[in-house]
Amino acid sequence: MSHPVIPSVTAVRLRRGRRLGKYRLEKRLGQGGYCEVWKARDTVEGIRVALKIPHLDPSGRRDNQALLREVRLVAQLRHPHLLPVKNADIIEGYAVLATELSFGTLADRSKPMAPRNILSIIAQVLDGLAHAHQNRLTHCDVSPSNIFLFPDGRAALGDFGISLEIKGRMGTIDDYGTPGYVAPEQAYGKPTYRSDCFAVGLILYEYLTGVLLRWPFDWPGRGYKRLRQRANPALVAFLKRALAVNPSLRFANADDMLNQLIKADPEAARHLDRLGPPSPK
């Protein structure tokens, strides 16, 4: 069933200082084709949060409610390395998704990164993604802009299924993920857990070498010489498997991939054991 293209309406009406229910908008953090993100203050709990507000028509109540049902299903996942959805509701006609406020995303970081830093981030992402895969959920949009970073060294994967659900209701689902981070089979509309693993492999390769591999994903590809200078042979072999064009040659799921990453470089696990659940503040 196709969904009509819905015009962007929030960009016109939302301004700094406006209240949406208990939230007071303080600063627009970003604006994309399907939503905008605001730093806001929860005036009841006295904390700051990030508000994701999709560009959906406020009059489309049925579409908005369907979106929130999908988001609330995802919100039931609780894990230190999955960005928690604190609240998902219709406020003054808008679908409003409140999440923990990070201090940035991986996309904000310069490339290449120090190997120990990106390996730690990737291990945390895989830890959260493994929890989702164990609950039979595929992310379908793993990208640097969906990896949220915190001052204590924690990394969390966000936008779990949210961006694709919103795009689908806007009639822009053809993108099927963030361009540049889509596995070949996912581009043909057949994503699996292995597709998520491919995207994670692309990110790790990019932040180790400064090069984002492109179709046809030949191995060795651009940046390979630098990869060999910055990664041990086991990690190079790990990436070759992660980035196999044939899905059957890749890691079966994120748990499998995480275990193999730690075997390739045990230092990757340095931020996994000491972390508990995310702080509510």
Look at residue 61 in the predicted model and tell me its pLDDT.
57
Q: 133-143, pLDDT tens digit by residue?
A: 999 888 988 99
Structure tokens at 38: 């605001």
For residue 230, what is the enclosing H or E element? helix 224-230
Residues 187 and 252 reside in one and the same domain? yes
Whichever domain contains 72, its CATH number is 3.30.200.20
Cα separation, 36 vs 52, whole angstroms: 6
pLDDT at 178: 81
Does residue 48 sit within a domain?
yes
Q: What is the mean pLDDT of residues 115-133?
A: 97
Determine the Cα–Cα distance for residues 209 and 219; give it in Å rounded to an integer: 14
Query: What long-range pairs does 240-244 form, CB within 8 A, spacing at least 24?
Result: 242/197, 242/198, 242/200, 242/201, 242/204, 243/198, 243/201, 243/202, 243/205, 243/213, 243/217, 243/219, 244/219
CA 123 to chain centroid: 14
- Residues forming a β-bridge with 94: 91
Q: Are residues 92 and 22 in the same domain?
A: yes
The answer as to whether 5 is a domain residue is: no
Same domain, 90 and 128: no
Same structural domain, 75 and 131: no
Judgement on whether residues 121 and 158 belong to the same structural domain of the protein: yes
Kindly state whether residues 151 and 62 are assigned to the same domain. no
Specify the number of domains making up the chain. Answer: 2
Residues acting as catalytic residues: 141
Question: Which pLDDT band holds residue 72 (cuts at 50, 70, 90)?
Answer: confident
Q: Domain end: 53, 78, 100, which one?
A: 100
Q: What digits encode the pLDDT tens for the residues 251-279?
A: 999 999 999 999 999 999 998 864 444 43
Angle between helices 115-134 and 193-209 (to 10 degrees): 170
Confidence of residue 58 (pLDDT cuts 50, 70, 90): low
Both 118 and 236 in a single domain? yes
Q: Which domain holds residue 212?
A: 104-273
Domain-ending residue, one of 100, 117, 142: 100
Of 48, 79, 100, the one marking the end of a domain is 100
| 115 & 77 share domain | no
Predicted structure pTM score: 0.84
7-16, 31-40, 155-164, 208-217: least confidently modelled range = 7-16
